[in-house]
Amino acid sequence: MPIISYKELRKYLKDRGSDPFLPVYLIYGEELLVQGVFDELLNALIPASRRSINYDHLDGSQANVHEVIEKVNTFSLLPGTKVIALGDSRIFYARQDKEQLLDNARQAYEDDNFKKAAGHLLSVMGLLNLTFDDIDNTNRSKSLGPGHAPGEDNRWLDETITYCRENNLSVPAARDDSLTLQLAIEKGFPRDNHLIITTGMVDKRRGLYKTLSTEGMIIDCSVPKGDRRADRIAQEAVLAERKDAILGAVQKTMSQAAFNALYEKTGFDLRTFSSSLEKLVNYTGDRREISIEDVESVLPRTKIDPIYELTNALADRSPAQALFFLNSILASDFHPLQAFAAMINQIRKLLLVKDFVKSPYGRDWQAACPYDYFQRHIIPAVVEYDRELLDQLDRWQTMLTEEADPQNSEIPVKKKKKKNKTDTDLLIAKNPKNPYPIFLLFKKTERYTKEELLGAFDSLCEADKQLKSGGHNPKLVLEKVILDICGTQVRGPRRKAHGARKG
């Protein structure tokens, strides 16, 4: 069977006719969408009146794959359809999913769902072959990464570990459950027995995924989490569907302006969006239309702004927006030094572009040039500029190496081990095949002079001292940097004064 979108499920159920249901279904993606698809499929497979005997739901965080296989291969006591559900399965999880699983665990903790938080944490520990001693306060930065070092906000992790120990939860043994299940599916189940698997993420490269797509059906409930225009359109479409479903059930309406305001409050968080909309339904009572005033009056802003919103506002020279996004990301437990590093990186990028424009490579750049012109004429020059920069950095690195070890320079060139190019983030076009963000960066650079960007580093250097020496409020330090950089009189005169004193 083909892989289908969650939107196609009703058509599949309607067009199925007398064809038998498939032996196995995999539903993956956005949690609320997965739950809705699961309920609809289960209702079609087996009525609620027969689920006391012919239906069994297993928790994917605790269930053993051999138990699942045994149950789905056991004939039911009563004739007819039998369904085994493996909910919130970890069967596709891999070591590279560590950060996503830790984020899921923290989110579940913040939602007061300790059971779910523990399941995600134990999955990480099983994948990495860790014990509870490996993730205690002294060892966790080594086991889980620098983001979990002493001094970081790890209360959620401490309390989740305590929950696991108090409930005698054990770390799952590392084994290839996916291969075991794959072989069982290929062997086949009894005629009227069916398995439904739900999960948040899948690895499409695994043999299990391919087997599920040929022996059963995969229902895709994923929604792109990126920030490209296409991703945002997809996210808004899903939220609009959710809005129509909730408001349609109570015969209420909402203007586009109110919808946009709600989206701005929650971001793409389907659960928060849904609960917020239900609050508005209750708040408006018998009134049929939900207004933008209702949204502003009732709901707090829970959206977590990505760091690029701050750096974009800085590049746009918009102090009000930059201060707003700084406050938002710091309120979401984002470390001030992370925000500061992003600001430094953005100014470096702007200065690098400014240097390109002033160089012979940038002679074709025009501030008013259209995008297609930029693609044809500017991007090739940017690639050449980046290549020359890498060559120059490589030459400098070779000189430094020879100065540190003079004997190395006496080795014949042919016998010297060939080194990789110097690794650096000082490139304008790390991905020249995606030129549109580079085009926008060039446009933003026009809002600053080169002297202003050089002057901005004075503010950044002073802030760096204050942030690392202690005794200063980090938020106030960063706010001052933003106002200094975005202000109409950005440090240019100060830079010149330094130069005059130097002379």
Per-residue pLDDT of the chain (503 residues; tens, 9 = 90+): 589 999 999 999 998 888 899 999 999 999 899 999 999 999 999 988 888 888 999 988 777 888 999 999 998 777 789 999 999 888 887 776 788 788 888 888 887 888 888 888 888 888 888 888 888 877 777 788 766 655 556 788 888 999 999 888 888 776 668 888 999 999 999 989 999 999 988 888 889 999 999 999 999 999 987 777 788 888 899 999 999 999 999 999 998 989 988 988 888 888 889 999 999 999 999 999 999 999 988 888 777 667 878 888 999 999 998 898 888 888 766 788 888 988 998 999 999 999 999 999 999 998 889 988 999 999 999 999 988 888 888 888 888 777 766 665 555 544 444 444 455 667 888 878 878 888 889 999 999 999 999 999 889 999 998 888 877 888 899 999 999 999 844 444 344 333 333 33
Q: What is the CATH number of the domain that holds 261?
A: 1.10.8.60
Residue 420: predicted pLDDT? 47
- In this prediction, residue 277 carries a pLDDT of 94
Are 44 and 188 in a shared domain? yes
- Which helix or strand (DSSP H or E) is residue 290 part of? strand 289-290
Domain interval for residue 376: 309-494
Give the long-range contacts of residues 178-181, CB within 8 A, separation 24 or more: 178/91, 178/92, 178/206, 178/207, 178/208, 179/207, 179/208, 180/65, 180/66, 180/69, 181/65, 181/68, 181/69, 181/91, 181/208
Residues 160 and 64 in one domain: no
Helix (H, G, I), strand (E, B), or coil: what is residue 118?
Answer: helix
Count up the domains in the chain and report the number: 4
Q: Does 304 reside within a domain? A: no
Q: What is the CATH number of the domain that holds 183?
A: 3.40.50.300
* Cβ neighbours of 18 (radius 10 Å): 4
What is the structure's pLDDT at 330?
Answer: 84
Whether residues 212 and 243 fall in one domain: no
Q: Which H helix or E strand runs over 40?
A: helix 31-45
Residues 83 and 18 in one domain: yes
Per the domain annotation, does 247 fall within a domain?
yes
Q: What is the pTM of this model?
A: 0.60
Q: Let me know whether 110 and 20 are in one domain.
A: no
End position of a domain, from candidates 251, 272, 298: 298
- Within a domain: residue 323? yes
State whether 85 and 99 are in the same domain: no
Determine, yes or no, domain membership for 423. yes
Residue 12 located in a structural domain: yes
Residue 502 has a pLDDT of 38
pLDDT at 490: 40
Say if residue 45 is in the same domain as residue 130: no
pLDDT at position 396 is: 83
Whether 135 and 189 map to the same domain: the answer is: no
Tell me what pLDDT residue 407 has: 60
pLDDT at 499: 39
Report if residue 499 sits inside a domain. no
CATH number, position 413: 1.20.272.10
Rounded distance between C-alpha atoms, residue 409 and residue 271, angstroms: 63
Residues 367 and 466 in one domain: yes
pLDDT of res. 123: 83
Is residue 38 one of the residues assigned to a domain? yes
Examine residue 303 and state whether it is found in any structural domain, yes or no: no
HEC letters along 262-286: HHHHHCCCHHHHHHHHHHHHHHHCC
